Structure 1
């Protein structure tokens, strides 16, 4: 039951074939059985979840209207506030923090009927794509527990892959919805800035970070996005378009549609085995009728843009933490915040100028192509004992962020992007393919990802840790 799709589980509840209480209990049993091996779920809300499930069942039997996520268990990333449930941000500073209100994304999925089953693990303040912290420890890759699951939505990806939750929330600044999806063989979409409004943020005008959904299938992700997205006047970047269409059919004829295929964005370092797996999927798009061309936009300025804007955001988020609790911050968070505090106004302005020129170039590129395909990660999952890889095909990264180039280059563009399962290395480790769409075209992106998924079915392969 726990590996059925979100839509299948929702239909079973709606038809009265199972109770939401039964579904939640099945997932709680799965968590009890599997979580000790992977440490993906870190704070449980079992009692509250069962109470909500019973209330949902009574409401259904009374004939009350049911939302699209009605009765489905959802794991919420530990960076996102949950009313009455511990939210630590992976930091000792917030080890006892219990919010009095929900984050907007949580509020919306609960309104659609989802039941918060617990919190998924994340790196400290979501920094770095390796899910470990001093509060809860490391989350392990379900396909090989000696490897990392990525991050920062690492716990969410593993919880989905192992059947501990039906759906999950996440967030993405430099790849946090895409990297862990790739390494747990699930799906994660980074929506356009403003698609899922940022409410309560100190940087309401920033487009670098966004919340979004993760799921085992593209349809599960689309179903969640249909309730997560939508206008909120408190967010200055909020997009007004209706999101209900994402819950509909994703079928589409792609004959004659042009897609650019990039192996390494013009010579950036990438692991040979990782590249072998993604390159083997190029033919799938040709089989779907797309016109596939080796090409990529010039994204050479994205390194500078990303490093400057990320440091700028870390400075405002962690200035107080640096002042009051420097000993409780991990080294990479301190470094990133200090980099931001050292920057001048002209550094930030220059990065914004480069980003403006980049957008102008991208409009021309995506006038020719409807999609761009490239790797999600530069390496396969690395050792759980490393904070970040120290070698990428013979190239040593200068910072803890450099290896994440396939995702952060796309974050800078503001384009919607997603990771879909694309196969496995010779060692049986999952690899993801990143698909990028035109500005604000989540629907086209979901349609293409769904078509690719239907041709490949990699998502059906379960990790060994579930038995």
Structure 2
């Protein structure tokens, strides 16, 4: 097997070969590092790395497998961690000049669980500044490009993770999602991205602990790998009042759903969001591909309420909680998106906040009623094909002006309001020959049921060239016309520093 074939293997296959002693963690890591050296400069998905520590960790894992004594289900597997998430001893900048020398002295709980399972934290993955926005570029590391075309964006805020997976740099990465940070870049790069129900993975660094719009989640290349990672990451934490205790094997035993009895609802635009006509046509083709295999496939009205204003208020609330003091004290430390969100939050009153929580509850109850009629709701994940990464966001979609920079994420952030699970699956290519993501929404706390459906849809789509997961030609990535580090104004400082407490949060999108 060639090195390029080796790094393209799913995580479960790699781990299987470790156990069979047909592949060692050291040899696999060597292949990954060589591949990263060749490809990462073209897409800038990985930021801070600790190759020396990873090599040593892989050597220890190799010895454990030789003795038949792996320390956990991920022993020896190199992973990437989103640069909003603290990693002990590894530079964690949050894409902000305020964190360009910040080296945490402890892992965040999600990372700690993965490391305890044997995973080797090799690298951090790129993000927008403080996770604000759907384009992963920042003043510390620059921009992340799409592996299908380095002139296009990879999405955000988990853009580095999505691009790293699509380019086979790593087999498993972490992400987080408020308004689409897992789903958006996964769709744009052609990999699965899962937003679990709010109680599945403890998120004790959430700025507003009782608000469930921000969650943590896995990013991988297959649903089987997603289930493996999710089973390890599920947990409770006293500092996250919304989390619940893990149930051993909760996600490891999920089997594919029989599609013949499936009741499918679908919407092209999630209640009237702006969607490009080419994306609508691609979506309709995917629905038509699925329809003959299910019991029912019916168009549904997803206008559940004033979802945009609710999200504006709840999101702004978390930005004020996280960044208000910093913006007031040192506004020069923050980019325009952070300042814009804080200023928006300051325009809302207590009455606005009360209305938003009431409306969010009404939206949830309407969605719950809808889900008594359907097993899953389908829609596009992203309203446009990937555009140039030099553009922050689309200003116009299908004749509709975007009134704020994140409005183009309405297809994903509207689903965040219910607190339930949603997943994007790679489903072929769109009208511009770029990856197309199909979004599936499940019932609140219906994670197992949604993932069972996702396994079946993944299998069905993989059987057809039109709908199978697209794979980039990594030997011929169209090169970017603009230096990916052109936006760097405050490069990272590689030294140990205690950093600022205000960085201990994971705001996303």
Tell me the CA shift for residue 309 of structure 1.
Answer: 0.4
**Residue 413 of structure 2 aligns to a residue in which SS?**
helix
Give CA deviations for 1:90-145 in whole Å, capped at 9, x if unaligned.
00011000000001110111111111110000000100101100001010111111
Number of the residue aligned with 1:139: 144
1:111 & 1:84 partners in 2: Cα distance? 16
Give the alignment's TM-score, normalised by structure 2.
Answer: 0.89
Higher mean C-alpha displacement, 24-33 vs 80-89: 24-33
Cα distance change on mapping 1:311 and 1:461 into 2, 3 Å: same
2:103 & 2:442 partners in 1: Cα distance? 38
Equivalent residues in 2 for 1:299-338 (5 A)?
Answer: 299-338=304-343
2:294 & 2:324 partners in 1: Cα distance? 52
Matched, 1:462 2:471: yes
1:90 & 1:405 partners in 2: Cα distance? 24
Number of the residue aligned with 1:448: 453
Number of the residue aligned with 2:202: 197
Given candidates 159, 172, 179, the residue that maps to 1:174 is: 179
Tell me the CA shift for residue 34 of structure 1.
Answer: 0.1
Tell me the CA shift for residue 415 of structure 1.
Answer: 1.4
Tell me the CA shift for residue 43 of structure 1.
Answer: 0.8
Given candidates 341, 346, 357, the residue that maps to 2:346 is: 341
1:221 & 1:284 partners in 2: Cα distance? 24
Give CA deviations for 1:148-203 in whole Å, capped at 9, x if unaligned.
11100000000000110010000000000000000100010000112101123332
Equivalent residues in 2 for 1:353-364 (5 A)?
Answer: 353-364=358-369
Tell me the CA shift for residue 61 of structure 1.
Answer: 2.4
Given candidates 239, 247, 252, the residue that maps to 1:242 is: 247
Contact 2:428 2:470 in 1 (8 A): no
2:419 & 2:259 partners in 1: Cα distance? 24
Give CA deviations for 1:30-51 in whole Å, capped at 9, x if unaligned.
1100011100001111111111
Given candidates 38, 54, 74, the residue that maps to 1:33 is: 38
Number of the residue aligned with 1:160: 165
Tell me the CA shift for residue 254 of structure 1.
Answer: 2.6
Cα distance change on mapping 1:278 and 1:324 into 2, 3 Å: same
Contact 1:191 1:416 in 2 (8 A): yes
Number of residue pairs matched?
Answer: 467
Number of the residue aligned with 2:192: 187
Contact 1:172 1:209 in 2 (8 A): yes
Tell me the CA shift for residue 225 of structure 1.
Answer: 0.4
Tell me the CA shift for residue 214 of structure 1.
Answer: 0.5
Equivalent residues in 2 for 1:375-386 (5 A)?
Answer: 375-386=380-391
Tell me the CA shift for residue 460 of structure 1.
Answer: 4.5
Given candidates 418, 424, 427, the residue that maps to 1:422 is: 427
Moved over 4 A (4+): none
Matched, 1:104 2:139: no
Equivalent residues in 2 for 1:251-330 (5 A)?
Answer: 251-330=256-335
**Residue 413 of structure 1 aligns to a residue in which SS?**
coil
2:179 & 2:380 partners in 1: Cα distance? 14
Number of the residue aligned with 2:89: 84
1:309 & 1:51 partners in 2: Cα distance? 44
Number of the residue aligned with 2:120: 115
Task: Give ranges in structure 2 of 5+ residues lacking alignment.
Answer: 1-5, 477-509
**Residue 261 of structure 2 aligns to a residue in which SS?**
coil
Matched, 1:60 2:65: yes
**Residue 441 of structure 2 aligns to a residue in which SS?**
strand
Number of the residue aligned with 2:492: none
Contact 2:426 2:470 in 1 (8 A): no
2:473 & 2:432 partners in 1: Cα distance? 13
Task: Give ranges in structure 1 of 5+ residues lacking alignment.
Answer: none
Contact 2:364 2:417 in 1 (8 A): no
Tell me the CA shift for residue 353 of structure 1.
Answer: 0.6
Contact 1:299 1:409 in 2 (8 A): no
1:238 & 1:339 partners in 2: Cα distance? 29
Number of the residue aligned with 2:131: 126
Give the alignment's TM-score, normalised by structure 1.
Answer: 0.97
RMSD value over aligned CA atoms?
A: 1.4
2:57 & 2:324 partners in 1: Cα distance? 39
2:238 & 2:321 partners in 1: Cα distance? 23
Number of the residue aligned with 1:403: 408
Higher RCO structure (Cα 8 Å, ≥6 apart):
2
Number of the residue aligned with 2:495: none
Number of the residue aligned with 1:73: 78
Tell me the CA shift for residue 324 of structure 1.
Answer: 2.7
**Residue 438 of structure 2 aligns to a residue in which SS?**
strand
1:79 & 1:241 partners in 2: Cα distance? 24
